[in-house]
Structure 1
Amino acid sequence: MLAEWGLGEWVLAAACAFIIGVSKTGIAGLGMLGIVLFANLMPAKLSSGFVLPMLIMGDCVAVAAYRKDAQWAMLLKLFPWTGLGVVCGYFAMGHLTNAQAGAFIGTIILVFIAVHLIRQGTKPRSSGGTRVGGPSALRKATATADQKTHGTGFVATFGIMAGFTTLVANAAGPIMAIYLLAMRLPKLQFMGTAAYFYLLMNCFKVPFMVDLGLINWESAKGNLILAPAVFVGTLIGRVVLQKMKQQLFEMIALVLSVVAGLNLLYRSWAG
């Protein structure tokens, strides 16, 4: 497959790899754009395995950059449900067409966003952006209250869907973005928590992808060629995040999640 690529395909693949890198350290949710573009270069199911090593590389850089900001209490509640979702996705993989998977995941993303907006519309918001030194007292109090009100059912729903969607279509990004936005985490805690979540989850997926034949020697060689683009993207992403205000960060994450959901639905209908 890769032997058939010309210069245009490799340039597009490098741009996608760069976008994935930026998303891991800077702009939450942007990675779905790279994943969608990769799905236009090869069959969607093959692309999910091809992209995975690049995602893991970006995750490693993100963990190194934001390791002190991760909220482990939140992650430990989420991981068992995410593992269950990955297993469900593994067994569903052979029974879902690309169109069915896209329609299902796109609908779930948009429903989650709608519920999130309805819930947040009834709660007070903190004013102003959050600087890299720490969140405001109001934001801390609001975030703590939100995290306490989200019970086991809420965590289980997001965890299972994140695991399922990541195995089927590498589409956990919007699901996790909505989850972390619901927790009202400051941007550094958002990125640090997401970095560890994605790294551990993506590594957990590797044996399943190998067993399904979606990661192989050919895809590994392609990943080695594209690795520098991922790394450069992670460096740019970190600079972008440092300059971005909290409110803008949240708005971009939410908008990109909406775009991802709509894109999945459109592609399922068009296909």
Structure 2
Amino acid sequence: MPMLDPYFVAVAVFTVLLVGLSKAGLLGSLGMVGVPLLSLIMPARDAAGVLLPVLIAMDIIAVYAYRNDVDWRLLRIMLPGAAVGTLVGWVLWSFVSDDMVLLFVGIVTLLFILDAILPLRKKLEGLPPSRPWGIFWGSFAGFTSFISHTGGPPYQIYALPQRLPPAIYAGTSAVFFFIVNSAKLIPYFFLGQLNVHNLQLSAMFIPVGIAGVFAGIFLVRRISMQLFYRIAYWLVFLLALKLVWDGARGVFLGL
């Protein structure tokens, strides 16, 4: 039976709602904190496994909503790289410990915060949208997505400078991550992350994620998010520091 501890359920529901709102475009890349947040209540590997079916369910809704708004040229450039990154993540996953995963998730989360503050993406906007550049960032997105579902920032570094119309950008992103997330099902199964317990938890939280997507669609043009973003980024920054500390302590004390 899935864990029904009130603290566990509260953190999990909040996390899945946050990811759902992000999928609808309300919170931008803040959806990438799904695994870091769930890592507070379960091992990072299990967090990734629980979240994957939920992400795919939300991806299906987004793909259907934007099915006529897709830049297939961009996908043809990025998806081969994403496939390579996914394979690399699968190979490395068998050789790393839970503490290493936790440390990696914390570092990626910190880089996300720094990117939002500096921001790196704007500094890269003058670079040409070349195919090698797209393959590189596609592979990086595939790798970080496999490890901790944090493929959003690498994807955006290449996709945002393309200056696609908003609907085309949303539709292309939806298809990209639906394909990438679906490709992770087989590796996750063989790695044991889609075990019965994790799938039970996924089934519990899929309706919550779908509700978050629809809530985000409703709210995205109705509320101002400036103050929320400010508070959220500080909380995510503190969360990242905790993950780095816990992961580094486990890695280096275990040497």
Q: TM-score range by the shorter chain?
A: 0.7 to 0.9
Among 175, 178, 182, the alignment partner of 1:196 is 175
Match of 2:69 in 1: 69
Structure-2 residue corresponding to 1:268? 244
5 Å matches for 1:59-138?
Answer: 59-96=59-96, 97-102=100-105, 105-106=108-109, 109=112, 110=114, 115-120=120-125
What's the TM-score, normalizing by structure 2? 0.81
Counterpart in 1 of 2:145? 166
Distance 2:208 2:146 in 1: 24
Q: 1:10 & 1:17 partners in 2: Cα distance?
A: 10
- Residue deviations 1:142-193 (CA, integer Å, cap 9, x gap): xxxx7xx211221122111011101111111222233322222232222111
Q: How many residues align?
A: 238
Unmatched 5+ stretches in structure 1: 124-145
In structure 2, do the counterparts of structure 1 residues 212 and 18 end up closer, same or farther at CA, with 3 Å as the change threshold?
same
Q: Which residue of 1 aligns with 2:196?
A: 217
Alpha carbons of 1:26 and 1:102: their partners in 2 closer, same or farther (altered >3 Å)? closer
Structure 1 pair 183–103 and aligned structure 2 pair: CA distance change class (3 A): same
Deviates more, 1:219-228 or 1:48-57: 219-228
Q: Is the 8 A contact 1:32 1:260 kept in 2?
A: no
**Distance in 2 between residues matched to 1:71 and 1:244, nearest whole Å:** 29
Q: Is the 8 A contact 1:26 1:240 kept in 2?
A: no
Give the residue type in structure 1 aligned to 2:90: Y
Q: TM-score, normalised by structure 1?
A: 0.76
Q: Distance in 1 between matches of 2:223 and 2:103?
A: 37
Match status 1:227 vs 2:227: no
SS of alignment partner, residue 68 of structure 1: coil
Q: Aligned partners of 2:237 and 2:72: how far apart in 1?
A: 28
The residue number in structure 2 matching 1:32 is 32
Letter in 1 for 2:105: G
Give structure 1 regions of 4+ aligned residues with deviation exceeding 6 angstroms: 255-262
One-letter amino acid matched to 1:118: K
| Cα contact 2:137–2:155 (8 A) shared by 1 | yes
CA change 1:193–1:58 in 2 (3 A) is same
Asked whether the equivalents of residues 174 and 260 of structure 1 are also in contact (C-alpha less than 8 Å), the reply is no
